[in-house]
C-alpha cells in the first residue's frame, strides 16, 4: 500500500513511466500473438507432415503443389519398398484472387481419393454434421474459418466456384490450415479444378487422373525421410518428393527469423520502457534524498531502503505489464472478431505469452530499479539529512 502511495506521489510522472512499459508490453503481446498463431500453424503442419512423403510436380516448391500431375504416378510410387499406401489429393484455391491479405493459409479446396483412410492419423473433429465419404458427390464439409464467409450451415447449399454444394459437416476450429479449407470428393474437385485452368492446359489433361499431389504413407517402422530418395529414384526428375524433415526445414527457418524480428521489435520497446523506469527512479531517489536520510537515521538499513525502492520499480513494471496485457487482449480480441484480416484468426494470445509478458515487465521493472535503489541504499544518512 505504502509502495503504491509512493509510486503515485508524482502522478503524472508515474503514469508516464507506467505508460512507457505499457506500450512495450502491448507491442510484445500483439506481435507475440501473431507469432504464436503462426507457430501453431507451423506446428500443425509439421505434425501433419511428420508421417508422410508428398509427391508433387517437379516445378513446384517443397511440397506445396498446385500444378496438376497425373494420379497414375501413384502406382509407381506404391511399388517402392517401404511405402505402405499412397493416396491422391487435389488442392486448389477456393477463389482465384485471395481477397484479403491473410497471415495464415489462404482458403483452399481439398479432396482425396479416401485411400488414406486407416493410414492418416491426423483427424479433424466435427462441430456439426458428419464427415465426407467417397459417395458424397455434390457435398462438402467446411473448416471453421470459412463458415461465415460461405454462409455454411449443415443441410444448406453453398456456392463454390459457381457450383452449388450441400454442406454435410462443419469442423471444429483447429487454428491450423484445415480451418480455411473446404473438403469435397475427388471427382467433384477434379471437375472444378479443370475449369480453373487455362483451356490450353486443360485440353491436355485427363480429368479422372487429375491431382496436385500424392501422399505416401510408410510401412511400420520405416522412417518416411528414408523413403524420399527411393521414391525420387523411382519417379524421376519431373517430380518433387518431400519428407517430414524437408517440410520442417522449409517452414521452421523462416518462422524463426520472423520470431526473432517480431520479438526484437517488442523487446526494444520494452527496453525503452525500462530506461524510463531507470530515469524515473533516479529522479525519485534524488528528490527523496532527505527522506532516505530520515529513514536511515531512524533505523533503516541498506537492505530495507533497497527493498523499498526496488518494490516501487517493480510496481511500476507490474502495473505497466498488466495494463499492456489488458490493452493487448482488447486489441487482439477485437481484431480477431471483426474479421478485418479475413476469416482466419490473425492473433493467438496464449497463456504463456500473457504470463510471460507480464513477468517480463515485472523483472524489467526490478532490474531497472536496482541501480537507482542501490544508489539510494548507499546514501550516507548524515549527508542525506543535510540535503535540502
Partner 1 sequence: MGLALQMEGVTRRYRLGADNYVDALRGVDLSVEAGDMVAIMGPSGSGKSTLMHIAGGLDTPDSGAVWLEGTRIDTLSDRRLTALRSRRIGFVFQGFNLLPALTALENTALAGQYGGMSRRQASRRATELLALLGLGERARHRPSELSGGEQQRVAIARALMNEPCLLMADEPTGNLDSATSAEIMTELERLNREHGMTLMLVTHDPGVAALCRRRVEMHDGSIVGDGGGGRVVSAEADA
Ligand X SMILES: Nc1ncnc2c1ncn2[C@@H]1O[C@H](COP(=O)(O)OP(=O)(O)OP(=O)(O)O)[C@@H](O)[C@H]1O
Three-class DSSP category at 275: helix
| CA separation for the pair 15, 20 (Å, rounded) | 9
- Considering the complex, what minimum distance in angstroms separates the CB of residue 20 from partner 1? 24
Which of ligand X, partner 1, none interacts with 381 (beta carbon under 5 to 8 A by kind)? Answer: partner 1
- Considering the complex, what minimum distance in angstroms separates the CB of residue 281 from partner 1? 17
HSE toward the beta carbon, residue 93, CA cutoff 13 A? 10
For ligand X, which is the closer residue by CB, 207 or 386? 386
| CA separation for the pair 275, 83 (Å, rounded) | 59
| CA dihedral of residues 355, 356, 361, 365 (deg, nearest 10) | 100
Would you give the binding string for ligand X spanning residues 214-253, x where CB under 6 A is met?
----------------------------------------
| CA separation for the pair 44, 198 (Å, rounded) | 33
What residues line the site for partner 1 (CB under 8 A)? 2, 5-6, 9, 290-291, 293-304, 380-382, 385
- Considering the complex, what minimum distance in angstroms separates the CB of residue 375 from ligand X? 18
For partner 1, which is the closer residue by CB, 173 or 302? 302
- Considering the complex, what minimum distance in angstroms separates the CB of residue 353 from ligand X? 52
| CA separation for the pair 276, 125 (Å, rounded) | 49
DSSP state, residue 204: T
Residue 383 interacts with ligand X (CB under 6 A)? yes
Could you tell me which of 53, 110, 62 has the C-alpha nearest to residue 86?
Answer: 53
For partner 1, which is the closer residue by CB, 2 or 338? 2
- Considering the complex, what minimum distance in angstroms separates the CB of residue 290 from ligand X? 14
Size of the site for ligand X (CB under 6 A): 2
Are 67 and 55 in contact by the 8 Å Cβ rule? The answer is no
Would you give the binding string for ligand X spanning residues 326-365, x where CB under 6 A is met?
----------------------------------------
DSSP state, residue 313: H
Which residues are at the interface with ligand X (CB under 6 A)? 383, 386
Amino acid at each position: 500500500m505504502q509502495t503504491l502511495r509512493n509510486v503515485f506521489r508524482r502522478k503524472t510522472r508515474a503514469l508516464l513511466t507506467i505508460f512507457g512499459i505499457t506500450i512495450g508490453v502491448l507491442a510484445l503481446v500483439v506481435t507475440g500473438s501473431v507469432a504464436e498463431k503462426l507457430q501453431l500453424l507451423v506446428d500443425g503442419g509439421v505434425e501433419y507432415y511428420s508421417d508422410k512423403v508428398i509427391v508433387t510436380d517437379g516445378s513446384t516448391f517443397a511440397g506445396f503443389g498446385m500444378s496438376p500431375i497425373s494420379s497414375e504416378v501413384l502406382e509407381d510410387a506404391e511399388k517402392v519398398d517401404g511405402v505402405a499406401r499412397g493416396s491422391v489429393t487435389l488442392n486448389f484455391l477456393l477463389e482465384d484472387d485471395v481477397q484479403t491479405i491473410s497471415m495464415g493459409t489462404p482458403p483452399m479446396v481439398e479432396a482425396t481419393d479416401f485411400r488414406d483412410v486407416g493410414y492418416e492419423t491426423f483427424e479433424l473433429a466435427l462441430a456439426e454434421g458428419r464427415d465426407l465419404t467417397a459417395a458424397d458427390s455434390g457435398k462438402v464439409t467446411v473448416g471453421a474459418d470459412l463458415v461465415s464467409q460461405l454462409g455454411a450451415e449443415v443441410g444448406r447449399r453453398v456456392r463454390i466456384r459457381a457450383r452449388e454444394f450441400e454442406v454435410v459437416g462443419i469442423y471444429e476450429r483447429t487454428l491450423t490450415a484445415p480451418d480455411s479449407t473446404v473438403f469435397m470428393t475427388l471427382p467433384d474437385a477434379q471437375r472444378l479444378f479443370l475449369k480453373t485452368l487455362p483451356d490450353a492446359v486443360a485440353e491436355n489433361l485427363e480429368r479422372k487422373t487429375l491431382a496436385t499431389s500424392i501422399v505416401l504413407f510408410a510401412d511400420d517402422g520405416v522412417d518416411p525421410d528414408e523413403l524420399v530418395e527411393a521414391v525420387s529414384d523411382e519417379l524421376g526428375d519431373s517430380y518433387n518428393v518431400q519428407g517430414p524433415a524437408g517440410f520442417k526445414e522449409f517452414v521452421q527457418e523462416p518462422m524463426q527469423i520472423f520470431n526473432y524480428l517480431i520479438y526484437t521489435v517488442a523487446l526494444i520497446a520494452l527496453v525503452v520502457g525500462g530506461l524510463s523506469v531507470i530515469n524515473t527512479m533516479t529522479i525519485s531517489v534524488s528528490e527523496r534524498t532527505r527522506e532516505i536520510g530520515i529513514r536511515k537515521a531512524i533505523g533503516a538499513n541498506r537492505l530495507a531502503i533497497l527493498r523499498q525502492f526496488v518494490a516501487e520499480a517493480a510496481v511500476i513494471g507490474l502495473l505497466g505489464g498488466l495494463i499492456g496485457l489488458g490493452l493487448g487482449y482488447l486489441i487482439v480480441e477485437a481484431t480477431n472478431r471483426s474479421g478485418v484480416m479475413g476469416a482466419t484468426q490473425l492473433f493467438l494470445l496464449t497463456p504463456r505469452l500473457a504470463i510471460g509478458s507480464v513477468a517480463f515487465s515485472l523483472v524489467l521493472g526490478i532490474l531497472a530499479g536496482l541501480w537507482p535503489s542501490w544508489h539510494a541504499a548507499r546514501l550516507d544518512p548524515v549527508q542525506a539529512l543535510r540535503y535540502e
